[in-house]
Amino acid sequence: MLNRDAALSVRAPFQRPQVNLSRSTVERMCLVSFCAGLAVLQSSLTDSFVSLQLALAAVLAAVAVEWICNRKCRVRTLWDGSAVASALIFALLLPNTLGPFQAFIGALFAMIVVKHSFGGLGSNWLNTALGGWLFVRFSWPDAFERALEGSPLALFYGSLGRGLTGPPVSPLEILRANSVPSAVLSGVAGFTAFLNDTIFAFTNSELPVGYIDLLLFREPGIIADRGLLALLLGTILIIAFRVSRMRVPLAFLVCYSLAVRFFGALPLGGSLGQGDILFALFSGGIIPAAFLLASDPATGPKSGIASGIFACLTGIFAFVFRYPGGEPYGAFFAVVLFNALTPAVREFERQKLYRYWPVETRRNP
């Protein structure tokens, strides 16, 4: 017979830790696909449905690979929706003027190399969509850069590269002051003017020109930035239905915003505490990086403490890569960096947090 203290000291063998979410995989993938699909649709409405063609090419490649792997391994993972969700997220990261061929090949690489070569959903150390984006970015660098010509971020960072900095230090003001033909200022600026002349005229207030337009701009850019309004609406569903651990995007956005506020104006010739948070949040793929990439439970730490620390560091490095580093889509590289560190952190968690699981031994008759 064992007393209670002795019974609790008996430990079972190690079992792999899990992240418990309130929704099943199928439900989560359907919600993520719906959210990403809304952004693709918004972008498609202003580019003659080129964005939709890119997304369909990516989905076709992903579904084909998943079906072939299902046939070979005699499983039915195609119906969990992960292939479609990964393809749509991958499409969000691509410039809308890139060719469907690059989207198709990038999705093939993402599914074959990044996902299934590591064992399928939950076994990959790198986010599947990010793996495809890296492949396209470095396989066709010239095509990628040409596809972004004329985008607000490309013009903004180009002005910084020519040394056009100094007061005023707002990114939008820098574009105006240096006569850069930014799409943010010329594309749909009439929408802000309409709101100021109607709704906000009654309150004797005025919206700053440019920020609302970031939600609806029509010029070249990644699909996530072109479909930002729909993407923001989709994140409401992600939060409401608890698709992922909300501490991760929250910690990411808070740390990123604080870094931008305090240090974001320094690379632009400004002073401490003058960073433009709205421009930083509404451009550069920050919203999908926070809610769809950094919060992916399959490629992050398992414990709450480690996932929170990783989210904070990812947000800080997203700022470092974007502002001092001058990389418009530095948030994606920040997520990749910490995805690469995830296996080492999980091994540490396994050794220190989940090595044993206490069980109570029942009394034998």
The pLDDT of residue 363: 45
Q: What angle do CA 93, 96, 99 make, to 5 degrees?
A: 100
pLDDT, one tens digit per residue, over 153-178 is: 776 676 655 555 555 556 766 655 55
The pLDDT of residue 204: 61
The pLDDT of residue 103: 96
The pLDDT of residue 53: 96
Instruction: List, in sequence order, every residue forming a beta bridge with 95; answer none if it has no partner.
Output: 222
Of the candidates 309, 209, 313, 322, the one whose C-alpha atom is nearest the C-alpha of residue 260 is 322
Instruction: List, in sequence order, every residue forming a beta bridge with 147; answer none if it has no partner.
Output: none
Q: Is residue 42 predicted with pLDDT exceeding 90?
A: yes
Task: Quote the mean pLDDT of the chain.
Answer: 80
User: How is the chain split into domains, by residue range?
Assistant: 25-147, 150-219, 245-354
The more confidently predicted of residues 152 and 84 is: 84
CB 253 within 8 A of CB 297: no
The pLDDT of residue 52: 96
The pLDDT of residue 244: 73
CB 167 within 8 A of CB 268: no
Q: pLDDT band at 14, cuts 50/70/90?
A: very low
From first CA to last CA, the distance across the chain in angstroms is 9
The pLDDT of residue 258: 95
pLDDT, one tens digit per residue, over 225-284 is: 999 999 999 998 888 887 777 889 999 999 999 999 999 888 777 778 888 888 889 888
Q: Is residue 6 predicted with pLDDT exceeding 50?
A: no
Mean pLDDT, to the nearest integer, of 294-319? 89
The pLDDT of residue 207: 59
H or E element at residue 192: helix 189-197
Mean pLDDT, to the nearest integer, of 132-157? 85
Q: Is residue 329 predicted with pLDDT exceeding 70?
A: yes
The more confidently predicted of residues 213 and 343 is: 343
The pLDDT of residue 183: 45
